[in-house]
Chain A
């Protein structure tokens, strides 16, 4: 905003810009106050806290909340992330390959798995043993969850990698090739290490996204020692007919996702300011 006094046009402009701004801001505070007041008046806080934040029900979630649920969420997520990372890199390299069928396969895979709801993939995975008699996903329930997250994550991660690989200037490959490196050697020694630096921030976001999607493991019909946060919260909520465990599970997600989100933002800023 300019601090210079603006000469009022004669006969007009009864309000200076600064005064106008003051009124607008004042109105916004009034609206906020009214909405908050209405909430305080009309919401039944006792019943709300009874159902969503009941202390003794929350206590029932401990210690399994961390020893089983969070632990499993992290197992599914990290396993899925590793699979997505490896598959994603392979699909990204295929997508920019000079071999046309590789490009087709990668493109089709990426479009399908980005286009389908992750939930659908998980539902299909439960039918795999029917479709392929005798086939069993290695690692049992963990394996199924990791497979689902990995297959979905790979499609997104492939696009992240592709963008990263294409962000490395062409001159880098040319320099490597003119030093006598083969095309593959140049990729692995010069291009991929730089691409990985570029993709660290979006990959961190990708991890957060997988962590949230790990809640879909719920639909694999897991139980007992295999439950992750969402299923764990949901089961306890049914047991006590109270939503508090779901809130507790939600908070536990936030404990992990919020710091990771900040980390991604910081990494992005650092990238922007050079090495």
Chain B
């Protein structure tokens, strides 16, 4: 079976600064892979290279067998199949929650307004904000905004989802709602690549955990191994700081 994501020899420079120093990683269809690591380790950049929000400097990225790094690739059509959720939600502030979830269905998939609305309401219902359809983003809490953003991505019927620190901008008491939605998605078999600091989520939901540091993958394996019994000193010291911040 074709892997959902296959990355080979990926390097990314910002100017002279090498952020990714040769990344190889494969995500099989249906897998949930969590990427953890200290800030500045290149996790988000890696994620953003998958749907080409960042252009890789070197190396190849295949999504469902299509090489997105090929200059001739139809990137818009590949992106349609990749849902992306951002740390800052990035809802469209001039549209209601419902319109946010409808707009790309209408404009990109050319669905009728009736069909788009049905799909939008279904997805808003699924993420638990069906009562906020007519609210503007500024009237929603961070947790509600992020769930609308997830519904917006899901409405495009993506084959895989990218999550870029989806709970990092949330107040602590709102994190649970978003994680619950993501857990539900994982249980339904969605392919997910998740950059996160939520170790509990990674341990319980992920099929694999990838630990990155300094632009390279240090460790890659099942959560029980990477989080439960890390082999590398860098992983151990990172986990110690994250799990027991006060030492």
Contacts and interface: CB of A to CB of B under 8 A. Distances in A.
Asked if chains A and B come from one complex, the reply is: yes
Contact of A178 (B82, B88, B92): B82
Interface in B69-127: 76-77, 79-80, 82-84, 86, 88, 90-94, 103-104, 107-109
Given A179-B153, A180-B156, A193 B76 contact: no
B53 A181 contact: no
Contact of B152 (A177, A179, A185, A193): A179
B94 A180 contact: no
A242 B86 CA distance: 68
A275 B91 CA distance: 15
A189 interface: yes
A179 B51 CA distance: 10
A4 to B, nearest CB: 39
B231 interface: no
A180 B51 CA distance: 10
A175 interface: yes
B88 A171 contact: yes
Contacts of B103: 189
B201 interface: no
Given A178-B51, A179-B153, A275-B136, A189 B84 contact: no
Interface residues of B, number: 27
A171 B138 CA distance: 16
A178 B77 contact: no
A162 B86 CA distance: 26
Contacts of B91: 175
Nearest to A174: B53
Contacts of B156: 179-180
B79 A177 contact: yes
B81 to A, nearest CB: 8
Most buried by B among A179, A180, A274: A179
A97 interface: no
A210 B84 CA distance: 45
B90 A174 contact: yes
- Interface class of chain A by DSSP: helix
B108 A175 contact: no
Interface in A165-215: 169, 171-172, 174-182, 185, 189-190, 193-194, 197
Contacts of B92: 172, 175-176, 190, 194
Interface in A56-101: none
A66 to B, nearest CB: 38
A175 B107 contact: no
B77 A194 contact: no
A188 to B, nearest CB: 9
Contacts of B104: 176, 179-181
Given A185-B107, A197-B94, A178 B76 contact: no
Interface in A215-267: none
Nearest to B92: A190
B138 A178 contact: no
B108 A171 contact: no
A132 B81 CA distance: 55
28 contacts: A169-B88, A169-B90, A171-B88, A172-B90, A174-B53, A174-B86, A175-B86, A175-B90, A175-B91, A177-B76, A177-B79, A178-B53, A178-B82, A179-B79, A179-B80, A179-B108, A179-B156, A180-B77, A180-B79, A180-B104, A180-B109, A181-B76, A185-B107, A190-B92, A194-B93, A194-B94, A197-B94, A275-B93
Given A174-B86, A175-B84, 4 more contacts: A169-B88, A171-B88, A174-B53, A174-B90
4 tightest CB-CB pairs across the interface, nearest first? A180-B80, A175-B90, A179-B104, A178-B84
